[in-house]
């Protein structure tokens, strides 16, 4: 399952980076800028940069260096922990889920290293309610976490059997 999880991670990071390069080219920018193109009554295609975490949380433009280091190191630690977990995974769904989170985290760290912030471009809204702009890496992370929850909470596995005579079911 390690190879599957790492392949999913690589694909998620690659698709994320390709989509962000396309967005930058579409808006004619080489780095962070603020651009917006309305598409529908509920969706705008934007170019914005986030120095915080997923979906714009903790985005504080006045302290970019602090956010850069904190969130880059935190993401690297999460990736290391997830790769260690991936070594032990036996579930196909869980391997894919962990791969999505790893790939999304790597995609956003690449942006931080390259641009000092994460490129976001999907902006949904309903009436006066606006969801923070996000990207494919954020989507991969959310889908991965949702799949982890599904795997852990809803999918039943048989309990490991005791090797001795002791009863571990109590």
- Among residues 107, 95, 110, 91, which one has the least CA distance to residue 156? 91
For residue 12, give Cα distances in angstroms to 52, 150, 163, 169.
20, 20, 40, 40
Q: Which of the following is catalytic: 16, 44, 111, 138?
A: 138
Q: Which of the following is catalytic: 16, 111, 120, 151?
A: 120
For the question of residue 138 being annotated catalytic, the response is yes
Contact indicator for 106, 79 with CB cutoff of 8 Å: yes
For the question of residue 151 being annotated catalytic, the response is no
Centroid of chain to Cα 73: 15
Residues 6+ apart with CB under 8 A from 153: none
Category of 56 on φ-ψ map: left (φ > 0), alpha (ψ -120 to 50) or beta: left
**Active-site residue set:** 120, 138
């Amino acid at each position: 399952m390690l190879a599957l999880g790492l392949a999913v991670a690589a694909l998620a990071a690659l698709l994320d980076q390709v989509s962000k390069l396309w967005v930058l080219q579409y808006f004619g920018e080489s780095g962070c800028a603020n651009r917006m193109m309305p598409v529908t009554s509920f969706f705008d295609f934007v170019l914005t940069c986030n120095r915080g975490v997923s979906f714009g949380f903790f985005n504080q433009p006045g302290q970019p260096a602090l956010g850069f280091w904190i969130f880059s190191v935190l993401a690297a630690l999460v990736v290391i922990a997830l790769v260690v977990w991936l070594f032990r995974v036996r579930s196909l769904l869980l391997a894919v889920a962990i791969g999505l989170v790893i790939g999304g985290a790597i995609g956003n760290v690449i942006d931080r290293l390259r641009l000092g912030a994460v490129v976001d471009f999907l902006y949904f809204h309903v009436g006066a309610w606006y969801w923070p702009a996000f990207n494919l890496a954020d989507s991969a992370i959310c889908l991965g976490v949702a799949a982890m929850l599904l795997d852990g909470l809803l999918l039943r596995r048989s309990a490991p059997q005791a090797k001795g005579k002791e009863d571990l079911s109590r």
